[in-house]
Structures are given as structure tokens and as C-alpha cells.
Amino acid sequence: MQRTRSAGWSGPWSRHNGDVAATSAANREEYVRRGRRLEYFIIGYNSLEGVISIGAGSIACSVSLAGFGLDSLIEVTSGAALLRRPHHDLNVTRREQVDRTALRTLGACFIALAMYIPLRIQFHAGPARSSGAKHCEL
């Protein structure tokens, strides 16, 4: 059974060639503007999530909660890298350079996170402290 579409309706059966370059300049500007607004929202949300998680992890002495907060900060870094991308979209050489820089930055962040959690657990899992006071360092 083949479905038809009415005029003006675009759904899963509509035809789209997937070629972003074929969109008009006005449509492209609107897409970039929408993408930036969404990315600013995501950066704000992840920043708040990261600060709350790291703070809660410090209070609760939870390495995993602090690691979750650090992951949120990595997402903020990736969002900032994505905000740079549309500025260099038309210049292919510059676009590739911006992509490489963003990937290297994100890779370094993930390596730092991957090293932080096991090292923090190793150093945190020492002998129990003799005093009754709760003390932790993240």
C-alpha cells in the first residue's frame, strides 16, 4: 500500500534528497539560527547540570557524581565547538581545520575524564581515617 501526501505536508513519505547545499540561502540562515539557539540552550543546561553534579559530588564524596559533572562539562566543550562550525561552513579548507581542532579538543577532554575516575578512586580508596569527621577531596 502506497501512501500519498497532500500539498504542503511533509512527513516520512515525502521526498528529500538530503543535499544541504541545495537549500536556499534564506532557509540555510534560518536553520543556522535555529541550530545556534538550540546549542545555546544545550550549553546552558549542561553547564547547570555540571555545576550541580560536581557540587553534589563534592558534598557526598561521590566520584561517580563528580565524573558525571565532568562529562557535562565535556558536553559544554563540544557545544562550544559546534557553535564555531557554521561560521566556516562554506570554506571547505577552514571547515576541515575547525573539525580537526574540535575533535582533538573533545578527545583530550574524554581522555582526561577517563583518567580522572580510576585515579580518583585509587587515591580515594586508601585506609580509613581515624577521625570521625567526614573529609573528602575530589
- pLDDT exceeds cutoff 60 at 75: yes
Angle between helices 63-84 and 92-124 (to 10 degrees): 170
What is the per-residue pLDDT across 10-34, written as a single tens digit (0 to 9) for each? 555 545 555 555 567 678 778 878 8
Q: What is the pLDDT of residue 122?
A: 78
Give per-residue burial for 36-64: e unless 16+ CB within 10 Å, then b. Answer: eeebeeebeebeebbeebbeebeeeebbe
Mean pLDDT of 77-105: 79
Q: Which pLDDT band holds residue 52 (cuts at 50, 70, 90)?
A: very high
Q: Please, are residues 70 and 54 in contact by the beta-carbon 8 Å criterion?
A: yes
